[in-house]
Structure 1
Amino acid sequence: MTANGLPGPGTHKRAFNYDEQTDSYRCPAGQILLPEAKTRKTLNTREHRVYGTSTCGDYDLRAKCTKAGQGRRIKRYPGDGQREALRQVMQHPQAGRIFSQRKAIVAPVFSSLRGQQGLNRFRRRGLAAVRREFTLHVMAYNLSRAVALQRALFSFLWATYSPRASRGQLYALDFSPGFRASTAVTRAA
């Protein structure tokens, strides 16, 4: 946004208000952007609608909003409504706190399932078969966590009660699934 409240050339579409009843956008300067085109999903593009206006007859106003000769254009994707609703919910401080807890607890699990176990999609058909497949993936993840925690515990006990520990070496603890207890860290004096 510029100092006088008008959108600048780099203004994000969040600055434009979407009206679901009229299926149109209203720009910060008060102009209405109507649907102009609909693009179907292809191999390289997602489905979206294009909104635009040519009512910005005043060239100075158009120059403050966009560099395009035909006026400002906005793409609206099918998931934009959910994004806007989530953005409103996340403005509440308590929602942000809850989401940060979820991000710390759940997101690494699914990241591991996708990255280490290759669970990008299910390979079975039918709900019962998919449940069995997901249960096996979760069991494998839990076993890897249990092994990593057990390895870290044994490493800690070995570092605490080993004769090497008394000579100034302490083994670093790492609770990740790929933990290796072979890296020694010199104890700070």
Structure 2
Amino acid sequence: MFKPEDFSFDPEAKTCVCPAGKTLYGNGSNCQFNGYLAIKFQGAQQDCLPCPMRSQCLRHPQKTKTRQVAFFLGKAPGHESHTDRMKAKIDSEQGKQMITRRFATVEPVFGNLRGNKGLDRFTLRGRNKVDGQWKLYCLVHNIEKLTHHGYAH
């Protein structure tokens, strides 16, 4: 199957040529897919229907008349993903302090439960059951802390 890399795309002229040497029509510029800008192209029926490379170009040549292809140009301006916002938040001064506190308080508990106790997944399903199982995991962790610090006597 041909991939977009097999098509000749000229970003300056905004043209696209298929592997068979036919020029595709631009049927969308400045399109956005998941926060990325793209340019879309589509082949002409007069070129695609009789093409000998049709079976390599289309997944379902018996159903689809023409090939469509899109080329991504980068992130759309003004579009910020959840991941980008989280990176900015973590990189801020407040975020660095928050992560430091988390590593000091929460991560040792997770490490102990997963690494030492082997409690690395929930065996139950449903919010209430998982919540109960998590509380039992925490109870195991806290009982062990109490015994190590001399409160068991």
Q: Which bin holds the TM-score, normalised by the shorter protein?
A: 0.3 to 0.5
TM-score normalised by L of structure 2: 0.45
Q: TM-score, normalised by structure 1?
A: 0.39
Structure with the higher fraction of residues in strand conformation: 2
